[in-house]
Amino acid sequence: MTDFQTQTVRDALRDAMAEEMRQDDAVFLMGEEVAQYQGAYKVSRGLLDEFGDKRVIDTPITEMGFAGLGVGAGFMGLRPIVEFMTFNFSMQAIDQIINSAAKTLYMSGGQMGCPIVFRGPNGVASRVGAQHSQCFASWYAHCPGLKVAVPYSAGDAKALLKSAIRDPNPVVFLENEIMYGQEFDDVATDPDYILPFGKALIRREGTDVTLVAYSIMVGKAMEAAEQLAEKGISAEVIDLRTIRPLDIETIITSVQKTNRCVAIEEGWPVAGMGSEISAVIMEEAFDYLDAPVKRVTGKDVPMPYAENLEKLAVPQVEDIIAGAEEVCYVGA
């Protein structure tokens, strides 16, 4: 029987890395400020002390270079964890992530696997403007050869990161900057407790509408479901956990029950995860739908700095409630 404890997302991620590094000498962590500074967001606190500078490595500010270096080490059978200080900076390195890490197994006829994890905070931050505040989930979810994890709770963050580190394939692991300090009581203490990729979690059961979300938006969806219940609408909340592979079966099964769906994400609407989810539902459960799928997304604008505009640009609980009411034809 696994014991669960209360931890912040930050500490859960740190423990995941430490446990895997204890188990496997080939695992190492590199990135900007991960060692002496203990991580820009303190996710790697204590790791330098425990594992030394051979395995916890401060890099220069050189994302394309160290991402490529990590991939090369991965080709050689090491298991790098490459931290991006934020995923915004992964744009500098995206060629190495896609062209080198994701495609080489295929291009080599199966010879050149690359067991690497690219991790770091993703998504909307707070009051940092357009270049430091963006969700890259759909960008990476687009690419065959990658796996993409988008955990919500601390327990999921730990168990999925451990899976990612053990995975023989390149994994993009999207954390959320705003959630690092949030506590959850679901963190397994057993170092062998991991979660599989491609298995969504139904966080709340319901019968009237399915809310599909990932990462920080799961929390907003849960709040929305609570308020919807007060209004007499029973919402089911699906936490995707990973978006490549995407657990289509869980989404479809839920929609077959509720007949309505709201897809929620922080990212931009065009070619977003919501677009994909609504397309899949249309292809596989069209006859079950009692209303068109509704997308609740970030607005189609670069992230503004001003407090009021920033709030408008990001999906809020009220937007999710409005979306659910729309597909339930409430107040129409």
**Rounded to the nearest whole angstrom, what is the least distance from the CB of residue 291 to other proteins in the complex?**
35
Q: Is 31 a residue that touches other proteins (CB under 8 A)? A: no
Given the residues 19, 20, 32, 63, the one annotated as active site: 63
- Identify whether the C-beta of residue 269 lies closer than 8 Å to the C-beta of residue 323: no
Half-sphere exposure of 282 (CA within 13 A, CB side): 11
DSSP annotation of 175? E
**74 versus 155: smaller Cβ distance to other proteins:** 74
Active site residue 142: no
Question: Of 16, 17, 27, 28, which lies in the binding site for other proteins, with binding defined by CB under 8 A?
Answer: 28
Distance of alpha carbon 195 from alpha carbon 197, whole angstroms? 7
Chain positions 132 to 171 lying near other proteins, rule: CB under 8 A, are 144-145, 147, 167-169
Q: Which letter, b or e, does each residue of 261-281 get, where b requires 16 or more Cβ atoms within 10 Å of its Cβ?
A: bbbbbbbbeeebbbbbbbebb
Q: Is 71 a residue that touches other proteins (CB under 8 A)? A: yes
- Identify whether the C-beta of residue 79 lies closer than 8 Å to the C-beta of residue 116: yes
DSSP annotation of 97? I
**223 versus 276: smaller Cβ distance to other proteins:** 276
Question: Of 65, 191, 269, 304, which lies in the binding site for other proteins, with binding defined by CB under 8 A?
Answer: 65
Written as one letter, the residue type at 191 is: P
Question: Of 51, 75, 84, 173, which lies in the binding site for other proteins, with binding defined by CB under 8 A?
Answer: 75
Which token pair is 328?
């339930």
Q: Is 312 a residue that touches other proteins (CB under 8 A)? A: no
Query: Using CB under 8 A, which of the segments 67-75, 128-136, 184-192, 212-220 binds other proteins?
Result: 67-75
Question: Of 68, 121, 206, 315, which lies in the binding site for other proteins, with binding defined by CB under 8 A?
Answer: 68
The closest of 329, 316, 308, 320 to 127, measured between CA atoms, is 308
Chain positions 91 to 130 lying near other proteins, rule: CB under 8 A, are 95-96, 99-100, 104-113
- Identify whether the C-beta of residue 9 lies closer than 8 Å to the C-beta of residue 32: no
- Identify whether the C-beta of residue 116 lies closer than 8 Å to the C-beta of residue 170: yes
Distance of alpha carbon 201 from alpha carbon 189, whole angstroms? 20
Count residues contacting other proteins (CB under 8 A)? 41
Q: Is 198 a residue that touches other proteins (CB under 8 A)? A: no
Q: Is 66 a residue that touches other proteins (CB under 8 A)? A: yes
Residues that bind other proteins (CB under 8 A): 28, 54, 59-60, 62, 64-78, 80, 95-96, 99-100, 104-113, 144-145, 147, 167-169
Question: Active-site residue numbers?
Answer: 63, 132
